[in-house]
Structure 1
Amino acid sequence: MSVTGVTGEERSDFTKSESKQIRDRSLRLLGTLLRPLWVRVSLTIAVVIVSTAAQVAGPALIAYGIDSGLPALVKQDWVPLGFAVFAYLFTGVIGAVLIAWYTVLTARISQAILIDLRKRVFLHTQRLSLEFHESYTSGRIIARQTSDLDSIRELLDSGINQLVQGGLYMVFIAAALFSIDWVSGLVLFGSLVPLWFLVRWFQIHSQKAFRATRTTSARLIVHFVETMTGMRAVKAFRKETRNETEFAGYVEDYRLANMRTIRLFGVLDPGLVLIGNVALGVVLLVGGLRVAQGGIAIGVLLAALLYTRSFFAPAQEMAMFYNSYQSAAAALEKISGVLEEQPSVPDPTRPIDLWQAKGSVRFEGVEFAYNAGRVVLPQFDLDIPAGQTIALVGSTGAGKSTLAKLISRFYDPSDGVVSLDGVDLRRLHPKDLRRAIVMVTQEAYLFSGSVGDNIALGKPEATIEEIVAAAKAVGAHEFIQSLPDGYDTDVNKRGGRVSAGQRQLISFARAFLANPVVLILDEATASLDIPSERLVQEGLQTLLADRTAIIIAHRLSTVAIADRVLVMEHGIIVEDGTPRDLIAGTGRFSKLHAAWRESLV
């Protein structure tokens, strides 16, 4: 997998060029998220600038009131003091109102970004090919939609406010301080030297610490999700104790990573307080001496002290912003990596429509290898006429499921052409392809909802009569009727209310309702008991008529309904003929059939 697919928890040893590529990728994503919101962003910037200026004006107005208003008041002139008081209250109210408006504006912007990003991740991962989902674990995908997006949400909800308000506040305070007393401004400027060294030290050491926190958090989530989704296997193999030990290790790693981060803040926070107090003390000392000598007015000194004290208040919040920023930056890297992934089976740029497919499938010079590894199908040729039922037989790893995935276009061949009715599948319109070819696998996945909803997945606009007819065709109607609410029964999570065989029957009804011209059954009867299998076979004989079918099965009883049997070994067809002819022969299939008959005895 490329750099785009391995970020965060997968690698931490990126080269400089890879790091730059990842940063550029993240910035491009951020740009596409902000571009539609530029009007709101511009308005927000204007609001925060005005509100910050209004807040910063307070100490200067106090200095004016003390140095100009009080002497004038002694002379019975209320105007200067009244102006200072009125201006102070006015700027306070304006600042408060604008801060409230700014908070609402930033919240709307952050929610718009999060909604956009969440939709992009979900829709894009759906569009990605099966190859991606077979290599990218479900736990990691869930982490992208949960913890990673939460990190970005925290940054947008509070971190950006801290940075923008705090940064502008410090700049405006420095400018105001220099405008009323340049000597105090120089003292403040001198305090920036130790402040810069402290913040730089924190940035260098915290970058690794925050990334370690994100890494351990992702591992924790992945382990938790995989344990919960694989709970049946956990119970079956008594893996609880091992899971407890492994999970405890991940929790401890997460705790240690957080402790290292907390220790960094244990140095940063008191360091900021110390630098601020020293700067305040120096301003007081220098300013006090100058007041005693008549160099500045006492109101100016008070304003300088207020400005100096206020200057360091946002510094701690901005340091906390760096925490949020590091987490969000790492999260954005991972999300942008997923969004940069391209389908290995892309949709055609100029698709060919095939409204009335007949079902003729052909492999011409097909070669296929997973991820440029070992070749599974070497120079494979096969012609399946429309309406013919093919049974694929062979040992595990012979290439049967690979052939089925190529016909379904879950994968594209490394070389050669797989065609339907003479049209290369890579050029066929996706809607026509999915309508014409349906694959039923051994894992009969049911979605939350009713039994009827799951059957109608093959044809969303189907009536209840069509749903019932499909269920009757595969022998599922009787057990569905026996459920508490019949076709309206909620199947519960992943079909927990029905047995494995019943789930498979529902998936058969779903596929038959879709009415494809090519139906692929990949070990689809493996979880059925003998009575259920017989019911399905009766339904298959009816519903596979005038339909191209590829049946992959180890149970040779299922093979009996096939018109033609292909025996595969190492990606090569070693036998090809009718079931009767192959059984009468002395080849591989004949031996398999004899062994199967003996097992029944």
Structure 2
Amino acid sequence: MSAPGRTRGSSTRYQQMTKAERRASLRLLGTLLKPYTWQLVGLSTIVVLAQLASVAGPAIIAWGIDNGIPALLEGRATPAIAASVAHIVAALVAGGLMYVFTRWNMTIGQNMLFGLRKRLFLHSQRLDMKFHETYASGRTVARQTSDMDALAQLLNSGLDIMVGSVLQMVFTLTLIVTMDVPSGVVMAGLLVPATMLTVWFQKRSSVIYRQIQTNSARLISHFVETVSGIRAVKSYRRQQANGEQYEQLAEDHRQSALRSIHLFGIYQPTLRWLSSITVAAVLMVGGFRVLGEELQVGVLIALVLYARRFFQPIDEIANFYNTFQSAVAALEKISGLMAEKSSVTDPEDPVELENVQGEIVFDRAAFRYDEDLPLALRPTSMHVAAGQTVAIVGSTGAGKSTIAKLMARFYDVTDGSITLDGVDLQDMSLDTLTNNIVMVTQESYLFSGSVANNIAIGNPAATREQIEAAAAIIGADTFINELPDGFDTDVRARGGRMSAGQRQLVSFARAFLADPNVLILDEATSSLDAPTEAMVQEGLEELLGNRTAFIIAHRLSTVMIADRVFVVDDGQIVEDGTPDELIAAGGQFSQLHQAWQDSLSDTQ
């Protein structure tokens, strides 16, 4: 008995979530449209005038036939000429107004998309690491590509359809009723099944188009993640498995597209069949009325032309509904991403730091990555004096990188506090924090562009001489100068033109140029082979300088230059002392040191 209750509860929660998402997406759309309120009013006015000029055509023809032809028979050409000129003027006015509307509307739409793309990009960068580690990169790409394309279609054609097509139907029906009430009754009668057909089509198409949008996003996400992880794909020979998964996703997309085609195959022919019946009915009713001399021939011709036009806006509105559904689904996803909040934010009244020395204090700092996960860092207290070089060692998963991420404020502590020169990290702005604390990670990510530009990320205001000097101090200038264009060489996507060790050296030069007061090296030498590590060791000491430094490493060759060593195990510091003191104590660090010495002996 409980299962149905749970099902109803889940369904209710889903409906509430959907309503909330819809409200959020409409709010986002409102913020996009608000700056252009008066321009949209102007566009709507243009559409009204353009539709009036457009629907006037058959009425002018009717007047020309019923008044111009008899006048010609009497030898007077003025009415016929007037009708011809009026029809041409109406066509030119309608065409000219639609040209102005299209240019203006497209400009506004592109401006809206430009603003939204920028907001979305900046927002995604401001979100914390927890978001980026849980939200698939492919989904983020889909928000900026396929979802933006769907929204663009709404902005480019929405106003024309929502205002223009509706007005065309209203004006057409009004003129038909004005010209001949019986023909208007026939039109209204056949409008009922056309409306029922359109409602049926819209209900089914909304479901199908959401499926198409979802399947398209899944395809993009899988493709992006496969390309991003191509090294792992090739290392573990995942090509076949990934291909099969992509094939299934592509098949899901194909099936949803086929369902859409099938639905169109029913709707459009049926609507055109109703349109043909309407034209035949109007012609028949009007024909008998012409024979009874109750209706003029010109009016009958105008009624037939209007009848042919009447169902065109219905078709346009139905087709636009699919675009609208796709855009709404895309807008919900975009607004969902925009609604994501970062847990790491600037304080309302940030503390400004001056003459930072680099003292770091953990006061019973504790952290867990999620509420239902155990503590990754147990309550920890430690004091690191300014200018000290501290090595943090321990087994994989012990909590070393967690300490680094908390100091760099990729995450905020769950309990306790971390201070820099006595100021809580959460009380200072993120810009101030970044200016004083820099972390070099194992990944050593390089962006597309020149070597010099990648180094300059550490200090965008640096001169070319400062960039080259930073590379020389680290020891990166030797291999950089051997590149085809030296410091101007394009490193290509993700630094693919360089080895892992070379990328790490560039990241060291970048950190040196940033000149932080606190430097964190998180497994930053792990990508260096023995010869490269020996080459960079002197540069590493230059990088450390007199600043406060934290070195997280497995290789003790790097650790031994530290003033102090923390041994971390199971999320807590279990040993603290100088390298020599810990070696003499015979604990975990001593065992690590002995294993390192044994490995050196084996290689000799």
TM-score, normalised relative to structure 1? 0.95
Amino acid at match of 2:481: Q
Q: How far off its partner does 1:115 sit?
A: 0.9
| Superposition map of 1:443-592 within 5 A | 443-592=443-592
1:229 and 2:228 aligned: yes
Q: How far off its partner does 1:429 sit?
A: 2.3
Q: How far off its partner does 1:466 sit?
A: 1.9
1:343 and 2:303 aligned: no
Query: What are the superposed Cα offsets for residues 217-251 of structure 1, whole Å, 9 maximum, x if unpaired?
Result: 11111111112222222222222222221221111
Other-structure match for 2:7: none
Q: How far off its partner does 1:310 sit?
A: 0.6
Given that 1:355 and 1:432 are in contact with CA atoms closer than 8 Å, whether structure 2 keeps it comes out as no
For 1:485 and 1:561, locate their aligned partners in 2 and report how far apart those are by CA, in whole Å: 35
Q: How far off its partner does 1:77 sit?
A: 4.2
Amino acid at match of 1:210: Y
For 1:166 and 1:384, locate their aligned partners in 2 and report how far apart those are by CA, in whole Å: 71
For 1:113 and 1:329, locate their aligned partners in 2 and report how far apart those are by CA, in whole Å: 16
Amino acid at match of 1:138: S
Query: What are the superposed Cα offsets for residues 276-311 of structure 1, whole Å, 9 maximum, x if unpaired?
Result: 111112112222222222222222222111111110
Other-structure match for 2:255: 256
Other-structure match for 2:286: 287
Given that 2:448 and 2:491 are in contact with CA atoms closer than 8 Å, whether structure 1 keeps it comes out as yes
Q: How far off its partner does 1:274 sit?
A: 1.2
Given that 1:354 and 1:429 are in contact with CA atoms closer than 8 Å, whether structure 2 keeps it comes out as no
Q: How far off its partner does 1:69 sit?
A: 3.0
Q: Relative to 1, partners in 2 of residues 1:434 and 1:525: Cα closer, same or farther, differing over 3 Å?
A: same
Given that 1:474 and 1:535 are in contact with CA atoms closer than 8 Å, whether structure 2 keeps it comes out as no
Q: Relative to 1, partners in 2 of residues 1:290 and 1:456: Cα closer, same or farther, differing over 3 Å?
A: same
Moved more, 371-380 or 48-57: 371-380
| Superposition map of 1:343-382 within 5 A | 343-374=342-373, 375-382=375-382
1:29 and 2:25 aligned: no
Other-structure match for 1:238: 237
Unaligned runs of 5+ in 2: 1-9
For 2:165 and 2:135, locate their aligned partners in 1 and report how far apart those are by CA, in whole Å: 40
SS of 1:434 mapped into structure 2: helix
Other-structure match for 1:5: none
Q: How far off its partner does 1:468 sit?
A: 2.4
For 2:537 and 2:526, locate their aligned partners in 1 and report how far apart those are by CA, in whole Å: 13
Query: What are the superposed Cα offsets for residues 549-586 of structure 1, whole Å, 9 maximum, x if unpaired?
Result: 11111111211011111111121111111111111112
Query: What are the superposed Cα offsets for residues 58-94 of structure 1, whole Å, 9 maximum, x if unpaired?
Result: 1112222222333344344444433322222221111
Moved more, 64-73 or 572-581: 64-73
Amino acid at match of 1:384: V
Q: Relative to 1, partners in 2 of residues 1:460 and 1:294: Cα closer, same or farther, differing over 3 Å?
A: same
For 2:569 and 2:280, locate their aligned partners in 1 and report how far apart those are by CA, in whole Å: 85
For 2:305 and 2:13, locate their aligned partners in 1 and report how far apart those are by CA, in whole Å: 46
Unaligned runs of 5+ in 1: 1-10
For 1:205 and 1:198, locate their aligned partners in 2 and report how far apart those are by CA, in whole Å: 11
For 1:471 and 1:542, locate their aligned partners in 2 and report how far apart those are by CA, in whole Å: 11
For 1:364 and 1:496, locate their aligned partners in 2 and report how far apart those are by CA, in whole Å: 42
For 2:274 and 2:473, locate their aligned partners in 1 and report how far apart those are by CA, in whole Å: 81
For 2:332 and 2:226, locate their aligned partners in 1 and report how far apart those are by CA, in whole Å: 26
Given that 1:377 and 1:399 are in contact with CA atoms closer than 8 Å, whether structure 2 keeps it comes out as yes
Q: How far off its partner does 1:158 sit?
A: 3.6
Q: How far off its partner does 1:160 sit?
A: 4.2
Q: How far off its partner does 1:484 sit?
A: 2.2
Moved more, 323-332 or 157-166: 157-166
Paired positions, count: 591
1:247 and 2:225 aligned: no
Q: Percent identity between the aligned chains?
A: 51
For 2:163 and 2:11, locate their aligned partners in 1 and report how far apart those are by CA, in whole Å: 30
Given that 2:44 and 2:159 are in contact with CA atoms closer than 8 Å, whether structure 1 keeps it comes out as no
1:442 and 2:445 aligned: no
Amino acid at match of 2:243: E
Amino acid at match of 1:467: I
1:135 and 2:134 aligned: yes
For 1:413 and 1:237, locate their aligned partners in 2 and report how far apart those are by CA, in whole Å: 37
Aligned-pair Cα RMSD in Å:
1.7
Other-structure match for 2:4: none
Given that 1:475 and 1:532 are in contact with CA atoms closer than 8 Å, whether structure 2 keeps it comes out as no
SS of 2:382 mapped into structure 1: strand
Q: Relative to 1, partners in 2 of residues 1:332 and 1:14: Cα closer, same or farther, differing over 3 Å?
A: farther
SS of 1:235 mapped into structure 2: helix
Q: How far off its partner does 1:14 sit?
A: 6.4
Query: What are the superposed Cα offsets for residues 383-441 of structure 1, whole Å, 9 maximum, x if unpaired?
Result: 11111111111111111111111111111112221111111111112222111000000
| Superposition map of 1:62-461 within 5 A | 62-374=61-373, 375-461=375-461
TM-score, normalised relative to structure 2? 0.95
For 1:85 and 1:287, locate their aligned partners in 2 and report how far apart those are by CA, in whole Å: 24
For 1:545 and 1:310, locate their aligned partners in 2 and report how far apart those are by CA, in whole Å: 80
Amino acid at match of 2:389: T
Amino acid at match of 1:477: D
Other-structure match for 1:54: 53
Other-structure match for 2:593: 593
Amino acid at match of 2:582: L
For 2:337 and 2:465, locate their aligned partners in 1 and report how far apart those are by CA, in whole Å: 42
Query: What are the superposed Cα offsets for residues 493-512 of structure 1, whole Å, 9 maximum, x if unpaired?
Result: 21112110111011011101
Other-structure match for 2:6: none
Given that 1:448 and 1:492 are in contact with CA atoms closer than 8 Å, whether structure 2 keeps it comes out as yes
Moved more, 189-198 or 364-373: 364-373
For 1:130 and 1:478, locate their aligned partners in 2 and report how far apart those are by CA, in whole Å: 35
Given that 1:386 and 1:548 are in contact with CA atoms closer than 8 Å, whether structure 2 keeps it comes out as yes
For 1:419 and 1:443, locate their aligned partners in 2 and report how far apart those are by CA, in whole Å: 27
Given that 1:501 and 1:528 are in contact with CA atoms closer than 8 Å, whether structure 2 keeps it comes out as yes
SS of 2:376 mapped into structure 1: strand
Amino acid at match of 2:594: A
For 2:177 and 2:427, locate their aligned partners in 1 and report how far apart those are by CA, in whole Å: 69
Given that 1:363 and 1:419 are in contact with CA atoms closer than 8 Å, whether structure 2 keeps it comes out as yes
For 1:187 and 1:551, locate their aligned partners in 2 and report how far apart those are by CA, in whole Å: 85
For 1:77 and 1:477, locate their aligned partners in 2 and report how far apart those are by CA, in whole Å: 93
SS of 2:145 mapped into structure 1: helix
For 1:518 and 1:286, locate their aligned partners in 2 and report how far apart those are by CA, in whole Å: 89
Moved more, 321-330 or 13-22: 13-22
Given that 2:202 and 2:322 are in contact with CA atoms closer than 8 Å, whether structure 1 keeps it comes out as no
Given that 1:380 and 1:572 are in contact with CA atoms closer than 8 Å, whether structure 2 keeps it comes out as yes
For 1:541 and 1:47, locate their aligned partners in 2 and report how far apart those are by CA, in whole Å: 70
Q: How far off its partner does 1:159 sit?
A: 4.8
For 1:594 and 1:293, locate their aligned partners in 2 and report how far apart those are by CA, in whole Å: 115
Q: How far off its partner does 1:52 sit?
A: 0.3
SS of 1:90 mapped into structure 2: helix
For 1:516 and 1:22, locate their aligned partners in 2 and report how far apart those are by CA, in whole Å: 42
Other-structure match for 1:7: none
SS of 1:466 mapped into structure 2: helix
For 1:292 and 1:497, locate their aligned partners in 2 and report how far apart those are by CA, in whole Å: 85
Q: Relative to 1, partners in 2 of residues 1:108 and 1:543: Cα closer, same or farther, differing over 3 Å?
A: closer
For 1:75 and 1:484, locate their aligned partners in 2 and report how far apart those are by CA, in whole Å: 89
